[in-house]
């Protein structure tokens, strides 16, 4: 099994077309098909299924695709680590972020990286928080920022910050007191992340502690869905400031602090066994600086740094 074969295989799966994959790789289609065939012969399984709509990975092919991503990322990181010098930082870095965090952090991080490390390609994987650790352990991302991450064998956790959680409602919803209680929230309809989700667990615990129930209107796993539902006046939700900051001045929404003052701790998570490249190290440093600047400049409300 050769690195080149894995690279070819990944491109075919991603483009779902051998001809287009060959063109993008600048190789002849027969040569590409031959390499895929040799890979299938070596492994003793069919990796691709050809149909009228193109090429798709078989069950075995999907398994190889996931592992090949990890293998090629480790190869790239190892090369970067071994050639580490004081010269220009280069390479690729993949970051796993909860959608609520990504909405505030991604843009300033990419802007800073473009200015300081123009040869580094950053991939941000915006995913529900429950999947972040899985991506790290599988090697799909180099590191992730995960909420209230529990100890897992093989996972290294570094506390970054604690962020307050706010009740988000349509602007037509009003309360008599500055800090909203569970009793105040009980009449509302809610749209919440689907379990398992740490934010959902915090919300459930608030009501459980008061022996109250709530009206669940709908479930959604990303703030890109939660916030518009609130803006439409269909339901309320619980979110950190980062998730709705961009919408405060353009949407009919309002944030409220809670009497219980719920918070969640955000941690930087990396795999204990992964090879950390020079580019990854530099992007982690840059990310910490970007977060620090957002907090100190008061662009990130309800956020307390741990460094």
Does residue 21 share a domain with residue 142? no
Does residue 108 share a domain with residue 248? no
Last residue within a domain, chosen from 37, 61, 81? 81
Does residue 116 share a domain with residue 172? no
Residues 248, 134: contact at Cβ < 8 Å? no
Does residue 184 share a domain with residue 60? no
The Cα 40–Cα 36 span in angstroms is 6
Band (84; pLDDT cuts 50, 70, 90) = low
Q: Is the pLDDT of residue 73 over 60?
A: yes
Phi, psi of 236 (to 5 degrees): -115, 170
Band (236; pLDDT cuts 50, 70, 90) = very high
Does residue 114 share a domain with residue 67? no
3-state secondary structure string, the chain?
CCHHHHHHHHHHHHHCCHHHHHHHHCCCHHHHHHHHHHHHHHHCCCCEEEECCEEEECHHHHHHHHHHHHHHHHHHHHHHHHCCCCCCCCEEEEEEECHHHHHHHHHHHHHHHHHHCCCEEEEEEECCHHHHHHHHHHCCCCEEEEECCCCCCCEEEEEEEEEEEEEEEECCCCCCCCEECHHHHCCCEEEECCCCCHHHHHHHHHHHHCCCCCEEEEECCCHHHHHHHHHCCCCEEEEEHHHHHHHCCCCCEEEEEECCCCEEEEEEEEECCCCCCHHHHHHHHHHHHHHHHHHHCCCCCCEEECC
Q: Is the pLDDT of residue 86 over 60?
A: no
Name which residue leads in pLDDT, 85 or 113: 113
The Cα 136–Cα 130 span in angstroms is 12
Task: Decide if 134 is inside a domain.
Answer: yes
**What number is the average pLDDT over the span 162-170?**
98
* Chain centroid offset of residue 137 CA: 14
Last residue within a domain, chosen from 31, 64, 81? 81
Name which residue leads in pLDDT, 104 or 78: 104
For the chain, percent of residues with pLDDT exceeding 70: 97
Q: Is the pLDDT of residue 270 over 70?
A: yes
Return the structure tokens found at 72.
């090629």
The Cα 263–Cα 278 span in angstroms is 33
For the chain, percent of residues with pLDDT exceeding 90: 63
Sign of CA dihedral 208, 212, 217, 223: negative
Last residue within a domain, chosen from 58, 81, 104? 81
Band (83; pLDDT cuts 50, 70, 90) = low
Does residue 221 share a domain with residue 105? no
Q: Which of 78-82, 140-144, 213-217, 233-237 has the lowest mean pLDDT?
A: 78-82
CATH code of 34's domain? 1.10.10.10
Q: Is the pLDDT of residue 67 over 90?
A: no
Task: Decide if 301 is inside a domain.
Answer: no
Task: Decide if 302 is inside a domain.
Answer: no
Task: Decide if 33 is inside a domain.
Answer: yes
Render pLDDT for 130-157 as a digit per residue (tens, 0 to 9): 889 889 988 889 999 999 998 999 999 9
Residues 80, 277: contact at Cβ < 8 Å? yes
Highest mean pLDDT range out of 14-28, 46-60, 80-94, 276-290? 276-290
Task: Decide if 304 is inside a domain.
Answer: no
Does residue 246 share a domain with residue 124? no
Task: Give me the pLDDT at residue 225, please.
Answer: 94
Task: Decide if 303 is inside a domain.
Answer: no
Q: Is the pLDDT of residue 184 over 70?
A: yes
Its domain, for residue 42, covers: 3-81
Question: What average pLDDT is seen over the chain?
Answer: 91
- From the list 175, 182, 180, the residue with the least C-alpha distance to 211 is 182
Highest mean pLDDT range out of 33-37, 87-91, 100-104? 100-104
The Cα 50–Cα 86 span in angstroms is 47
Task: Give me the pLDDT at residue 171, please.
Answer: 97
Task: Decide if 300 is inside a domain.
Answer: no
Does residue 105 share a domain with residue 151? yes
- From the list 126, 109, 122, the residue with the least C-alpha distance to 223 is 126
The Cα 167–Cα 160 span in angstroms is 23
Render pLDDT for 8-37 as a digit per residue (tens, 0 to 9): 998 899 889 898 888 888 889 988 899 898
Does residue 108 share a domain with residue 147? yes
Does residue 184 share a domain with residue 276? no
**What number is the average pLDDT over the span 168-183?**
96
**What number is the average pLDDT over the span 244-268?**
96
The Cα 181–Cα 109 span in angstroms is 36
Phi, psi of 125 (to 5 degrees): -105, 105
* Chain centroid offset of residue 131 CA: 8
Please list the residues that pair with 305 across neighbouring strands: 161
Does residue 255 share a domain with residue 179? yes
Task: Give me the pLDDT at residue 46, please.
Answer: 92
Does residue 241 share a domain with residue 100? no
Band (80; pLDDT cuts 50, 70, 90) = low
Task: Decide if 298 is inside a domain.
Answer: no
Render pLDDT for 150-164 as a digit per residue (tens, 0 to 9): 899 999 999 999 999
Task: Give me the pLDDT at residue 81, please.
Answer: 63
Please list the residues that pair with 93 across neighbouring strands: 122
Q: Count of domains in the chain?
A: 3
CATH code of 136's domain? 3.40.190.10
- Count CB-CB contacts under 10 A for residue 37: 13
Task: Give me the pLDDT at residue 248, please.
Answer: 93
């Amino acid at each position: 099994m050769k690195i080149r074969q894995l690279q070819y295989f990944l491109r075919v799966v991603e483009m779902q077309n051998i001809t287009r994959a060959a063109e993008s790789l600048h190789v002849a289609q027969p040569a590409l098909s031959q390499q895929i065939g040799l890979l299938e012969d070596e492994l003793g399984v069919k990796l691709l299924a050809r149909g009228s709509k193109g090429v798709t990975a078989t069950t075995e092919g999907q398994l190889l695709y996931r592992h090949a991503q990890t293998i090629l990322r480790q190869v790239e990181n190892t090369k970067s680590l071994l050639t580490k010098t004081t010269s220009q930082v280069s390479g690729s870095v993949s970051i796993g972020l909860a959608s609520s965090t990504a909405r505030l952090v991604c843009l300033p991080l990419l802007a800073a990286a473009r200015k300081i490390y123009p040869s580094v390609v950053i991939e941000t994987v915006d995913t529900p928080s429950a999947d972040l650790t899985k991506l790290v352990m599988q090697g799909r991302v180099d590191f992730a920022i995960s909420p209230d991450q529990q100890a897992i064998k093989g996972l290294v956790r570094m506390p970054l910050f604690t962020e307050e959680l706010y009740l988000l409602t349509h602007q037509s919803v009003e309360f008599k007191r500055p800090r909203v209680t569970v009793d105040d929230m009980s009449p509302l309809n809610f749209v919440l992340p689907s379990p398992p989700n740490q934010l959902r667990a915090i919300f459930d615990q608030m009501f459980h502690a008061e022996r109250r129930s709530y009206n669940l209107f709908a479930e959604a796993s990303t703030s890109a869905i939660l916030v518009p539902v609130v803006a439409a006046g269909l339901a309320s939700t619980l979110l950190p400031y980062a998730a709705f900051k961009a919408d405060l001045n353009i949407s009919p929404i309002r944030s409220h602090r809670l009497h219980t003052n719920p918070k969640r701790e955000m941690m930087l998570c990396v795999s204990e066994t992964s090879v950390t490249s020079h580019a990854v190290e530099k992007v982690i440093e840059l990310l910490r600086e970007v977060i620090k600047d957002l907090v100190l400049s008061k662009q990130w409300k309800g956020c307390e740094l741990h460094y």
